[in-house]
Amino acid sequence: MAKKKKTKKKRSFNKRSLIKEVIKVFRLSPKKTFNYRQISKEIGIKDNSVKQLVLNVLHELHEQDRLILIDKGKYRYKRTTIALEGVVDITTKGHAYVSVEGMEQDVFVRNKYLQNSVSGDRVRLALFSTFKKRKPEGEIIEIIERNKIQFVGIVELSEKAAFVLINNPRIHFDVFLTNKERQKVKNGQQIVVQIVDWGNNTTNPTGKVIEVLGYPGEHAVEIHSILAEYEFPHQFDKVVEYAAKNISTEITKEEIAKRKDFRRVCTFTIDPYDAKDFDDALSVQKLKNGNWEVGVHIADVSHYIQTDDIIDVEAQRRSTSVYLVDRVVPMLPEVLSNNLCSLRPNEEKLCFSAVFELNEKAEIKKNWFGRTVILSNHRFTYEGAQKVIEEEKGKLASELLLLNKLAEQMRLRRMQAGAISFERLETKFYLDEEKNPTKIYFKESKAAHKLIEEFMLLANRQVADFIGNQSLPFVYRVHDEPDPEKLQNFTEFIKKFGYNLQTSNSKKIATSINKILKDINGKEEANMIETLAIRTMAKASYTTENIGHYGLAFLHYSHFTSPIRRYPDIIVHRLLQHYLNKGKAVDKDEIEKLCKHASQQEIKATKAERDSIKYMQAKYMSEKVGMTFEGIISGVTDFGMFVEVTSTGCEGLIKIRDIPDDFYFFDEDNYCLEGTNTAKIYQLGNKVKVKIRKVDISKKEIDLSLILK
């Protein structure tokens, strides 16, 4: 028996509902004009009597000054709302908050009013006229500046259409591929897609295929996907590689004659065991007056790449090297980063140096900045240098012990001045030949690390002081004071663990944070509290407007010591040499643009590095499904609680609906989950026992089950 065809239910309209539909059409296309026939078509009205009603509604809305009559029978939307500019932040639920300068509260924007915007877009926003009665709410009416046009996603093909399902959970649209583009891909492949038409609230963006990465789950595909997500290329263009290979490696007598010669002074490097880009070295020698001359020698990258040459443009675009779990994606081609500019032992190298005369108390008596030539006598790993310091014997023991003694004194003075000592344990992995994680361990900062850190800080600070005291345009690394609200929240939270934070002034904040960091050392809550303390702090950034560095307690601070992996350091070298040559003040606005880009790239690199750690953690824990672990609650939300597994540092989610003994709700004020019937509370810092329930490696997600005691 043949099935009866379903008849489409005819839509009925009253005047009120019709006005709502008409206004919706105009809102979605605020710059377009419509007549009554076009409006009827947009709504789906075919009945002539209803079309006549549309005509009457248009006339009435014009009389109410809600529509503008452009031409006979043609209308455009007249906004009676307040238009503002701001930056979008999309939530995982698909709605957004727009941060508007000068407004205390962010403006909430529902998904249907987002105009396919993404986090970081600068937009023009219209506030609804009723916003005064509740939290401000509005809609996006224009995208002023796109933050991102490239995305990573999975291809989904059907007979009629092809779409890319974006990996990022904060992107809530799929990207349409034309027939031409679908020929380049296969179903299920992970690709990089670039938006060529953004569509609107009712249509999907259209994209073109930039790169086919492969199939999800393959290690190289996952790593390249992380890089593509943050727009870091995983290789250099051939023209850049060619230019780098053709740089002369010869150090001429004429070049040496222009420089201060340190080739006969005891010099060495200290770096991680797997490092290849040695961009800093230390030299030390005793002076006739009994003081010590310590040289901080930095690879002279700016000698080899010139402003605006092809390598410089690429380095500026990348702005930073990216350190993933299994590889380094360098800012400079490897012929420069690992060879020509790397301060390898027993090779003459060109450097830009900061040289200090220090007394026994590590007080600076003189300093000198300029170009040098060095010859490193030895390459230490951190482990090797640490062994010499601990055992007080071995290669260059007297030099290492002296520098360690000076570094300890400098560090003590820095702490007394109000510097904050964050010493988070780094999550590290042992990898097999296939890049699979076999073990997770935590790397601790010891004396050898702190020795290098102090002398790098010394050079960075003194270079910044030298320029800052002349009030010349320069690149500063700045760090603002903590946000008072975040500080208050942190203070309330740590009270639950018995810790107190003194917040009466900046120095007391720093002193008490240092005490807390010392007190939590070795305790289960240490990693979580230190993470929250770091989140309380403002983010450091690059700028020409110096406000000092709160975390280091420095009036002037810059980045001079890592030009192989940070572009701002190359700018600093160029500016320093320019001013040493008595050059005029440079264009501050031009330097500020470079600073802003470098700060943005640094944030993206940090996120990429974090994602690579999460990926490896998920990969590691995928072999532990069904196993139980001790953990600590590291986050609480309206959809569940995050738990950090104590032994591995891996973080997973217990969904609120999966907590077995009660129905729980999120108490936003007290930042906890509370049982409806039992009044049982789960809050940050609680110790819990969990089972690994499920792992999604591609999404970097670990799902946990709570084991009740």
In the chain, the amino acid numbered 156 is E
Model pLDDT, residue 132: 47
Span 278-301, pLDDT tens digits? 999 999 999 999 999 999 999 999
- Please state the separation of Cα 166 from the chain's center in Å: 19
Model pLDDT, residue 675: 93
Model pLDDT, residue 306: 94
| pLDDT at position 559 over 90 | yes
User: For residue 705, which phi and psi values (nearest 5 degrees)?
Assistant: -115, 140
pTM assigned to the model: 0.84
Tokens of 525: 């809550």
Contacts of residue 81, Cβ cutoff 8 Å, sequence gap at least 6: 126, 127, 128, 129, 138
Model pLDDT, residue 594: 97
Model pLDDT, residue 81: 57
Q: Which DSSP helix (H) or strand (E) runs through 166?
A: strand 162-166
CATH architecture of 150-216: Beta Barrel (2.40)
Model pLDDT, residue 80: 57
Model pLDDT, residue 28: 75
Coil, helix or strand at residue 639: coil
Model pLDDT, residue 3: 43
Model pLDDT, residue 12: 66
Span 244-253, pLDDT tens digits? 999 999 999 9
- Sort strands 137-145 and 162-166 into parallel, antiparallel or unpaired: unpaired
CATH architecture of 82-145: Beta Barrel (2.40)
Question: Which residue in this structure is represented by tokens 């230019």?
Answer: 243
Contact 76, 26 (CB under 8 A): yes
In the chain, the amino acid numbered 508 is K
Quickly state the pLDDT bin for 488 (edges 50, 70, 90). Answer: confident
Model pLDDT, residue 1: 42
Tell me how far apart the alpha carbons of residues 418 and 414 are, in angstroms, rounded to a whole number.
7
Model pLDDT, residue 391: 96
Contacts of residue 672, Cβ cutoff 8 Å, sequence gap at least 6: 636, 666, 681, 682, 683, 684
Quickly state the pLDDT bin for 129 (edges 50, 70, 90). Answer: low
Specify burial of residue 50 (Cβ count, 10 A radius: 0-12, 13-18, 19+): middle
Q: What's the average model confidence in pLDDT over 139-155?
A: 92
- Lowest-pLDDT choice from 67-76, 227-236, 370-379: 67-76
**More confident: 79 or 369:** 369
Model pLDDT, residue 214: 95
DSSP at 339: I
Q: What's the average model confidence in pLDDT over 448-452?
A: 96
Q: What's the average model confidence in pLDDT over 322-332?
A: 95
Q: What's the average model confidence in pLDDT over 350-358?
A: 98
Model pLDDT, residue 2: 43
Coil, helix or strand at residue 589: helix
Longest Cα pair distance anywhere in the chain, in angstroms?
A: 109
| pLDDT at position 130 over 50 | no
Span 495-550, pLDDT tens digits? 878 888 888 788 888 888 888 888 887 777 777 788 788 888 889 999 999 999 99
Highest-scoring range by mean pLDDT, 21-30, 77-86, 304-313 = 304-313
Q: What's the average model confidence in pLDDT over 40-50?
A: 87
Model pLDDT, residue 534: 84
| pLDDT at position 5 over 60 | no
User: For residue 583, which phi and psi values (nearest 5 degrees)?
Assistant: -70, 160
Q: What is the CATH number of domain 15-77?
A: 1.10.10.10
User: Where would I find the H helices in 319-422?
Assistant: 334, 382-391, 397-416
| pLDDT at position 161 over 50 | yes
Mean pLDDT for the chain overall? 91
Domain over 625-707 is classified CATH 3.40.50.720: no
Identical fold for domains 150-216 and 625-707, yes or no, is yes
User: Distance between terminal CA atoms of the chain?
Assistant: 60
Model pLDDT, residue 6: 43
Domain boundaries, the chain: 15-77, 82-145, 150-216, 241-414+421-480+538-611, 625-707
Tokens of 600: 């943005």
Span 376-394, pLDDT tens digits? 999 999 999 999 999 999 9
Span 119-128, pLDDT tens digits? 999 999 887 7
| pLDDT at position 85 over 50 | yes
Contact 135, 129 (CB under 8 A): no
